[in-house]
Structure 1
Amino acid sequence: MKPNKLRATLLAVATTIALGAAMAPVTSFAYDENSTSAVNVDAKGVGLKGHDPVAYFTVGAPTAGKAEYTYKHDGVTYQFASAANRDAFKSAPAKYAPQFGGFCAMGVALEKKLDGDPTAWTIANDKLYLNVNKDVQKKYLEDVNGNNKKAESNWPQLRHKTPKSLS
């Protein structure tokens, strides 16, 4: 992609993200904008807003987890729809845990830490990616591999910064 076209595309995506974030109700953001954590959790330390990370791979849809089936990994408490899903996660957490700590993959590609919406998800290369909303997800899906490559490059520098410091 030529530099001018890439710049225009990134500007369009950044605008879409900004508009999407501005239009979203404040209560939709689970993360603390002043936190330096590399994982996106709610006030109780629960990731994926309580959705079962294994179900994305087995059911192919966001599925609510249950409080009786939990497992803590890398500072995140995940909830599962069943004991079998919890046990599958325990045996291979790197396979099922969302990438970029559950933050928006497109946001990370654009050097931002935005909340991840468990209903705006994608599995690519056997990994789970979230986006801040479905409009941003549409842009992300236009070049999944390119966006993931950029996000993977950005993540080491962003992971311990506050979302607020990146705006």
Structure 2
Amino acid sequence: MEESPMKFLTPAIVTGALLFASSAMAATGEYDNMCAMGLSLEKKVETDCSVNAEIDGKTYCFGNETAKTLFMKDVEGNLKKAQSFYDDNQ
């Protein structure tokens, strides 16, 4: 009985699929993946963290590109507001 060539390809296909899936996953960020701009506006907005920015080695998530753009206009001030609201609402 002849062995199927698929038997030997299966591990490579599975490994490739896993690598692709892991690279396509969204980031994990601060504040339990809530939108940092939303928190700075005292709102809890859950995200999948596909829109994010790295600031001082930490990943911050945003609900959309507009929220990220607004947040980046005053990073220091928005981080303070977001952290304060997040800490008060744990």
Structure ranking higher in strand proportion: 1
- Once residues 140 and 114 of structure 1 are traced to their aligned partners in structure 2, the CA distance between those partners, rounded to angstroms, is 14
- Once residues 141 and 117 of structure 1 are traced to their aligned partners in structure 2, the CA distance between those partners, rounded to angstroms, is 19
Length-normalised TM-score, structure 1 = 0.38
- Once residues 48 and 65 of structure 2 are traced to their aligned partners in structure 1, the CA distance between those partners, rounded to angstroms, is 8
Runs of 4 or more off by more than 2 Å in structure 1? none
1:64 aligns with 2:8: no
- Once residues 140 and 155 of structure 1 are traced to their aligned partners in structure 2, the CA distance between those partners, rounded to angstroms, is 16
Cα RMSD (Å): 2.3
Q: Is the 8 A contact 2:51 2:63 kept in 1?
A: yes
Task: Find the counterpart in structure 2 of residue 19 from structure 1.
Answer: none
Greater CA radius of gyration, 1 or 2?
A: 2
Task: Find the counterpart in structure 1 of residue 44 from structure 2.
Answer: 113
Tell me how many residue pairs correspond in the alignment: 70
Q: Is the 8 A contact 2:37 2:71 kept in 1?
A: yes
- Once residues 117 and 146 of structure 1 are traced to their aligned partners in structure 2, the CA distance between those partners, rounded to angstroms, is 24
Task: Find the counterpart in structure 2 of residue 44 from structure 1.
Answer: none
Instruction: Quote the sequence identity (%).
Output: 30
Amino acid aligned to 1:119: S
Matched residue SS, 1:115: coil
Consecutive unaligned residues in structure 2, runs of 5 or more? 1-20
- Once residues 115 and 157 of structure 1 are traced to their aligned partners in structure 2, the CA distance between those partners, rounded to angstroms, is 17
Compare relative contact order (CA 8 Å, sep 6+) and give the higher one, 1 or 2: 2
Amino acid aligned to 1:64: A
Q: Is the 8 A contact 1:117 1:133 kept in 2?
A: no
- Once residues 110 and 133 of structure 1 are traced to their aligned partners in structure 2, the CA distance between those partners, rounded to angstroms, is 15
Consecutive unaligned residues in structure 1, runs of 5 or more? 1-50, 53-62, 66-78, 80-95, 160-167
